[in-house]
């Protein structure tokens, strides 16, 4: 990766990005970034995603959220993000899709809820929009109280996404 351009970043964002890059360089692909509310987690994630696509050869990134309204907010953040090196808008350079159906297009970044992804992995044709606003705990009456299993979906193989970012999914996972 080229040196990080820190203009417009707060110190905690710089630290998070640099430590993620160190983790990736050390072949530790799993990482947890914990930042306080209002500290720019989504902006930080988009900064890393931009670098991974532009310099790290990532072809397809999944941005997983816990509720549909968080997905809409994330899409707005991607649309507003100005790249630090040439001042372009992220969405002018890369295709970003907020899933509103269970069909994934050919995009660089896919934003979806964990509920929709679960539905897709189960091979369902679609999911009711209202279900994307409920946590998995709240969905227990819909899915039953047995542990949820995820089946292999050949249309979304395990290597389909190069990178997966989860944002605010803790309330949606049971």
Does residue 48 surpass a pLDDT of 50? yes
Residue 72's pLDDT is what? Answer: 96
C-alpha 37: how far from chain center: 17
- The pLDDT tens digits of the residues spanning 106-143 come to 999 999 998 899 999 999 999 998 888 876 566 665 55
CA nearest to 118, candidates 136, 138, 100 = 136
Residue 151's pLDDT band (cuts 50, 70, 90) = confident
Domain segments of the chain: what residues? 44-167
Task: Show contacts of 90-99: CB within 8 Å, 24+ apart.
Answer: 90/46, 90/50, 94/53, 98/71, 98/72, 98/74, 99/71
**Model-level pTM?**
0.90
pLDDT (tens digit per residue) in 71-104 = 999 999 999 999 999 999 999 999 999 999 999 9
Length of the chain: 174
């Amino acid at each position: 990766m080229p040196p990080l351009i820190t203009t417009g970043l707060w110190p905690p964002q710089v630290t998070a990005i640099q430590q993620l890059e160190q983790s990736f360089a050390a072949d530790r692909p799993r990482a947890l970034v914990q930042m306080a509310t209002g500290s720019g987690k989504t902006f930080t994630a988009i900064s890393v995603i931009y670098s991974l696509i532009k310099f790290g050869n990532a072809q397809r990134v999944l941005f997983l959220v816990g509720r549909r309204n968080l997905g809409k907010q994330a899409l707005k953040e991607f649309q507003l993000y100005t790249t630090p090196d040439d001042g372009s808008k992220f969405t002018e350079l890369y295709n970003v899709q907020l899933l509103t159906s269970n069909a994934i297009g050919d995009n660089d970044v896919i934003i979806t809820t964990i509920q929709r992804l679960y539905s897709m992995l189960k091979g369902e044709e679609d999911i009711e929009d209202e279900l994307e606003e409920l946590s998995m705990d709240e969905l227990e009456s819909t899915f039953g109280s047995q542990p949820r299993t995820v089946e292999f979906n050949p249309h979304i193989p395990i290597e389909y996404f190069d990178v997966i970012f989860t944002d605010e999914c803790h309330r949606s996972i049971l």
